[in-house]
Amino acid sequence: MIKQEAKKRIDKLKEEINFHRYQYHVLDKLDMSDAAFDSLKNELEELELRWPDLVTPDSPTQRVGGQALDKFKKITHSEPMLSLNDAFGEEEIKAWVERVQKLAPRAQFSYFCELKLDGLAVALIYEKGALARGATRGDGKVGEDITQNIKTIEAIPLALRIPSESELKKEGFGEHQIKKILSTLKSGAIEVRGEAIMTKRVFEQLNKKYKKEGRPLLANSRNGAAGSLRQLDPKITAERMLSFFTYSVVTDFGLERHEQEHILARALGLPSFNHDSRKKYAQRCANLEEVIKFHAFWAKHRDELPFGCDGVVVVIDDVALRAKLGVVGKAPRWMQAYKFSGEEATTIVEDIILQIGRTGILTPVAVLRPVSVGGVTVSRASLHNEDEIRRLDLKIGDTVIVQRAGDVIPDILRVLSKLRTGKEREFHMPKICPMCGGKVEKRAVSAGKEGKSVGHFCANKNCFAVNRRQLGHFVSKSAMDIEGLGPKIIDQLMKEGLVRDSADIYDLKEGDLTPLARFAAKSAKNVIESIDKSRQAPIARFINALGILHVGEETAIDLADHFGSMEKLSEASEEDLSALANVGPVVAQSIAQWFSEAKNQKLLARLLKAVKIKEPKVSKKKQIFKNMALVLTGELAGLSRDQAKAAIRERGGDVASSVSVKTSLVVAGAEPGSKHDKAKELGVKIIGEEEFLKLLK
């Protein structure tokens, strides 16, 4: 064969292979056996071997190309990758609809329902139609560049399909939309997002193989997908045979309905649910009854699905409503995850052991005889606290019903006490810590909606486990953000006696680290560099890092804003602390107690020597809201929520999330909700946006 002929044959083969990929992954049509498909790929590979200069980046042979990496590069997302709020049961999904209806009272909603796949969120960026980058969600803002691994997923096209104008017209796209789609395909960037998954069939095949080879098994198909994409060597990812479904088109083509994103994705050669050919997996619903029906159908038939699915995503179809509904926290209001209720199984509680948390709290955990719940084998169930054990009337040796609701750790629903033999044993919380032998104390803890309950704590501040958790928290992203000090390294440092508490971290030298087995000289240097970087810390993160019981990220920000310096915070009385809008008596006591302990005072002094704290800028604004707690409700037209909050804080006020007797003033925008009613009920002063803006002047 001469080169010219080879080129022709190569082009034809590529086209043919891509056509069958499209038939199979996008149109769900099996028109060729795996063996025949492989044989086409083999022929292509052979030709490319003979004429390497005829290899193009979008050739199907280039899916497993690159070398193994040392680590993934970071990618900043074009817009945040959000998450979804969950609704369990009909009541919660109805409540969501009522909430959004209040925000858009005149709108007539229709919904698009699709399956919620259990895999890993992935963003794909195509430039001039060719796959340029793939990224994980990461923290929502910055993800990891997993392009090499993404390319191994056959369901993902290496080059987008170019639909004809008439095809797009037939699919219902308007003239402007079509123009923009085609021109962006040609010369711009297109971003889509979706879920990378491992099908149940692949999961089972792989585990069978791994078992035979004596390799560790994959825990479930979701971990299978997530773990496979985080492999630094793309060859391993390729072996895992992942799949992909698109759920959104991020690039703005002026689409009017969410459903059109799916239609467009498919026209571009990407697998995606849409009501035409995958009728069963997605559906347009005119009202809530239809949504509930769709959910009920899949709750009943989920086992028949080829992939793991933990619920239905309900999307308000009208794209124009998104801006009106907005995003709360990290979740858009215009969509909701309507989850399936957990699956159940029975097993025996073989033991109850204790886990230790960063505040020293001891949590009982049930050791189960391993049992498969919803296709996943579990051996632990959370028990939360001693009260829960009493409530369940649980004894060691009991047969129980366990329920798994998508989480990794299942719950015990109830005890089948009729199956008792008389050999079951009562469980009591220990008087001494099983980890360190220190004394165990009982203390009040707030337990969410149920109010207060009693928790057991290890009183030994030197407890290895306590310190390990504390250190892990101290270095975490929302605290001092020291990269490279993962749990294994912290363990090692503690075992070597190099670090006992957080202040010790700042005494570490590169030479201390290099001899440790896990460190190559380079990474020791990097760790020291990131420790040094953390020596400049914003006060809120520093407060969070201290690991004070009940003080998380949010409370730390409130404390930082209110007190402004560590000196003032450490001198604050319980009463001073209680004056803050979001600080109740239990939290206030915990903070005051922490600063009163000699051991903590010493630690703080050492930390303050090592760390330069960045205090909030002194405000030049008139402190008109000094010592006041304000609550915002409804929509403000003139400024965003964040701007309003900042304006209040700059003027000395606190912003609380709910109305209580401590509230000094409520600022009500358009369509205020229940907070407004509560304020009226409590006789709290309410002002409108206009008056608020006047005050700010």
- Which residues are tagged catalytic? 116
SS3 253: coil
Query: Which residue lies nearer to ligand IVH by CB, 314 or 378?
Result: 314
Q: Could you tell me the smallest distance in angstroms from the CB atom of residue 121 to ligand IVH?
A: 3
Q: Which amino acid is at 270?
A: L
* Window of 76-84, 103-111, 317-325, 459-467 that interacts with ligand IVH by CB under 6 A: 76-84
Q: Does 270 bind ligand IVH (CB under 6 A)?
A: no
- Site for ligand IVH (CB under 6 A): which residue of 138, 163, 308, 332? 332
Is residue 362 within 8 Å of residue 433, measured between CB atoms?
Answer: yes
HSE-CB at 516 with a 13 A cutoff on CA atoms is 24
Q: How far are the Cα atoms of 97, 281, 284, 318 from residue 289, in angstroms, in the given order?
A: 12, 17, 12, 18
Please give the residues from 285 up to 314 whose contact with ligand IVH meets the rule CB under 6 A: 313
* Window of 109-117, 342-350, 510-518, 637-645 that interacts with ligand IVH by CB under 6 A: 109-117
Using CB under 6 A as the criterion, what x/- string covers residues 333-372 for binding ligand IVH?
Answer: ----x-----------------------------------
* Window of 116-124, 254-262, 420-428, 519-527 that interacts with ligand IVH by CB under 6 A: 116-124
Cβ neighbours of 544 (radius 10 Å): 26
Is residue 489 within 8 Å of residue 518, measured between CB atoms?
Answer: yes
Number of residues that bind ligand IVH (CB under 6 A): 13
- Site for ligand IVH (CB under 6 A): which residue of 116, 258, 404, 562? 116
Place of tokens 């003080």: 551
Q: Could you tell me the smallest distance in angstroms from the CB atom of residue 114 to ligand IVH?
A: 4
Q: Does 178 bind ligand IVH (CB under 6 A)?
A: no
Q: Does 265 bind ligand IVH (CB under 6 A)?
A: no
The pairing of beta strand 343-356 with beta strand 399-404: antiparallel
- Site for ligand IVH (CB under 6 A): which residue of 26, 47, 84, 632? 84
d(CA 587, CA 610): 27
List the one residue out of 441, 367, 439, 373 whose CA is nearest residue 401.
Answer: 373
What angle, 0 to 180 degrees and rounded to 10, lies between the N-to-C axes of helices 598-610 and 585-596? 80
Query: Which residue lies nearer to ligand IVH by CB, 60 or 332?
Result: 332
Q: Does 117 bind ligand IVH (CB under 6 A)?
A: yes
Write out the DSSP string of 61-95. GGGS-SPPPSSPPEEE-SS------EEEHHHHHHH
d(CA 171, CA 176): 14
Is residue 284 within 8 Å of residue 112, measured between CB atoms?
Answer: yes
Q: Does 247 bind ligand IVH (CB under 6 A)?
A: yes
* Window of 80-88, 261-269, 429-437, 449-457 that interacts with ligand IVH by CB under 6 A: 80-88
Query: Which residue lies nearer to ligand IVH by CB, 337 or 656?
Result: 337
Q: Could you tell me the smallest distance in angstroms from the CB atom of residue 79 to ligand IVH?
A: 11
Is residue 109 within 8 Å of residue 101, measured between CB atoms?
Answer: yes
3-state helix, strand, coil in the chain (%, to 5): 40, 25, 35
Q: Does 263 bind ligand IVH (CB under 6 A)?
A: no
Tokens for 121, please give them: 């969120």
* Window of 79-87, 422-430, 456-464, 666-674 that interacts with ligand IVH by CB under 6 A: 79-87
Q: Could you tell me the smallest distance in angstroms from the CB atom of residue 168 to ligand IVH?
A: 23
Query: Which residue lies nearer to ligand IVH by CB, 167 or 407?
Result: 407
d(CA 482, CA 529): 9
User: Residue 136: enclosing H or E segment and its boundaries?
Assistant: strand 130-136
Q: Could you tell me the smallest distance in angstroms from the CB atom of residue 277 to ligand IVH?
A: 16
- Site for ligand IVH (CB under 6 A): which residue of 6, 55, 82, 579? 82
- Site for ligand IVH (CB under 6 A): which residue of 145, 195, 317, 558? 195
d(CA 587, CA 573): 12
End-to-end CA distance of the chain: 82
List the one residue out of 337, 339, 400 whose CA is nearest residue 373.
Answer: 400
d(CA 55, CA 542): 54
Q: Could you tell me the smallest distance in angstroms from the CB atom of residue 118 to ligand IVH?
A: 7
- Site for ligand IVH (CB under 6 A): which residue of 47, 103, 113, 121? 121
Binding site residues, ligand IVH, CB under 6 A: 82-84, 114, 116-117, 121, 195, 247-248, 313, 332, 337
